[in-house]
């Protein structure tokens, strides 16, 4: 696992996630975790040697994404509609950012979503 790739991905995630209303970064279970209020919406982790971005997408969307081999069920929380995107040097960051936003909308409070909608 390249520390350089991890650092680059974390920089990108911070730029995207912390621009969202009331989003914060904490370390949870040793991983950089982004939250809307008290609820997590994005986690950068290394699982089984694979750098991954865990996101809440809901059960239906989870099923759709899991047909793509870039995704796998997020350990421990997949039953709650979470998937993990394998991060590679050629990851499509437009897609990753859309998924982060989708995940944020799953967990954010209504006032946060209103604030987001006002900025888009």
Q: How confident is the model at residue 109, as a pLDDT?
A: 96
Q: How many CA atoms lie within 13 A of 61 on its CB side?
A: 13
Q: What is the pLDDT of residue 3?
A: 87
| Residues paired with 45 in a beta bridge | 52
Q: What SS3 state is found at 49?
A: coil
Any residues with CB less than 8 A from the CB of 69 and at least 6 apart, and which? none
User: Is 120 within the bounds of a domain?
Assistant: no
Query: In this structure, what token pair is assigned to residue 56?
Result: 């809440």
In a domain, 50, yes or no: yes
Res 36: pLDDT: 98
CA–CA dist 120, 115 (Å, integer): 9
Predicted confidence (pLDDT) per residue in 57-111, tens digit: 999 999 999 999 999 999 999 999 999 999 999 999 999 999 999 999 999 999 9
Task: Based on DSSP, count helices (H) and strands (E) in the chain, helices before strands.
Answer: 4, 6
Task: Report how many domains make up the chain.
Answer: 1
The answer as to whether 119 is a domain residue is no
Using pLDDT thresholds of 50, 70 and 90, give the confidence band for residue 2: low
| pTM of full prediction above 0.75 | yes
């Amino acid at each position: 696992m390249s520390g350089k790739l991890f650092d680059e991905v974390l920089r990108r995630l911070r730029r995207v996630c912390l621009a969202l209303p009331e989003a914060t970064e904490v370390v949870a279970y040793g991983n950089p975790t982004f939250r809307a209020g008290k609820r997590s919406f994005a986690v950068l982790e290394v699982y089984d040697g694979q750098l991954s971005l865990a996101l809440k997408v809901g059960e239906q969307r989870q099923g759709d994404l899991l047909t793509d081999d870039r995704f796998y069920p997020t350990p421990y929380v997949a039953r709650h509609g979470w998937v993990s995107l394998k991060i590679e040097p050629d990851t499509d960051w437009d897609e990753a950012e859309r998924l982060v936003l989708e995940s944020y909308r799953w967990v954010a409070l209504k006032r946060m979503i209103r604030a987001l909608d006002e900025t888009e």
